Chain A
């Protein structure tokens, strides 16, 4: 069955280190999204991509970057981790068919702790 996976599921790192969170989907969806979820803030969009080589900033993109070299993967990189980036991170994907639904399907999440 097609799915969306994230790895690692849990990560502890230190302030200042570079961290990369992986997201892989097998639906062949063009659209992929990264969110962070914190208490009191709901889901906030970090970066998104509408296809290979396309990346766009979301509402909370500072300190994060993404790259899209193929359809299946959108890794999220924290260039220099900060304690404020301790959060749960969700990846999502959706198809981009004309007239089609915009339903986003979510991965299981990565819990990141920055010490």
Chain B
């Protein structure tokens, strides 16, 4: 399953399928991006990050892709599990230096159907 940016805030996928969550970021000068997962009643948890000098980074079952040309970030989750159900936020670093604030997207809700 796949969503397109913030226009489809809920993504519903079948357990075992791959999920793709998309995010359009705003600042072409942003050099650092993060994906967070937020489960109901909890704070956002770090999933994976990527710097602008890379276009792909892989973690355990997750891959982040960065397309700087169109200012697009995506999170791919392989073999989606019920425990992946959550809201996913992308964030871009705002400002220069190592103390930059983060700008968060609105979030996409991922629903995994058993």
B98 engages A42 (CB within 8 Å): no
**A109 is contacted by which of B43, B98, B107 (Cβ under 8 Å)?**
B43
The interface centre, meaning the residue of A99, A104, A105, A107 with most chain B CB atoms within 10 A of its CB, is A104
- A residues bordering B, Cβ < 8 Å? 30-31, 33, 40-43, 45, 48, 50, 58, 90, 92, 96-109
- In the assembled complex, the CB of A96 is this many whole angstroms from the nearest CB of chain B, namely 5
* Alpha-carbon separation in the docked complex, A30 to B89 (Å): 24
* Alpha-carbon separation in the docked complex, A40 to B105 (Å): 11
For residue B71, CB closer than 8 A to chain A, the reply is: no
* Alpha-carbon separation in the docked complex, A60 to B49 (Å): 26
* Alpha-carbon separation in the docked complex, A82 to B101 (Å): 27
* Alpha-carbon separation in the docked complex, A45 to B100 (Å): 13
Overall SS of chain A's interface: loop
For residue B45, CB closer than 8 A to chain A, the reply is: yes
* Alpha-carbon separation in the docked complex, A30 to B91 (Å): 20
B34 engages A43 (CB within 8 Å): no
* Alpha-carbon separation in the docked complex, A38 to B41 (Å): 13
Residues of B in contact (CB 8 Å), total: 22
* Alpha-carbon separation in the docked complex, A104 to B91 (Å): 10
For residue B65, CB closer than 8 A to chain A, the reply is: no
B99 engages A42 (CB within 8 Å): no
- B residues bordering A, Cβ < 8 Å? 32, 34, 36, 41-46, 49, 89, 91, 93, 98-102, 104-107
- In the assembled complex, the CB of A2 is this many whole angstroms from the nearest CB of chain B, namely 14
* Alpha-carbon separation in the docked complex, A75 to B93 (Å): 24
A and B contact pairs by CB, cutoff 8 A, 19 listed: A30-B99, A33-B101, A42-B107, A43-B44, A43-B104, A50-B99, A90-B43, A96-B98, A99-B98, A102-B34, A102-B100, A102-B102, A103-B46, A105-B46, A106-B36, A106-B45, A107-B43, A109-B41, A109-B42
- In the assembled complex, the CB of A51 is this many whole angstroms from the nearest CB of chain B, namely 9
B43 engages A106 (CB within 8 Å): yes
Across the A-B interface, the 3 shortest Cβ-Cβ residue pairs: A106-B43, A43-B104, A42-B106
Which residue of chain A is the closest to B41 with respect to CB atoms? A109
* Alpha-carbon separation in the docked complex, A42 to B109 (Å): 12
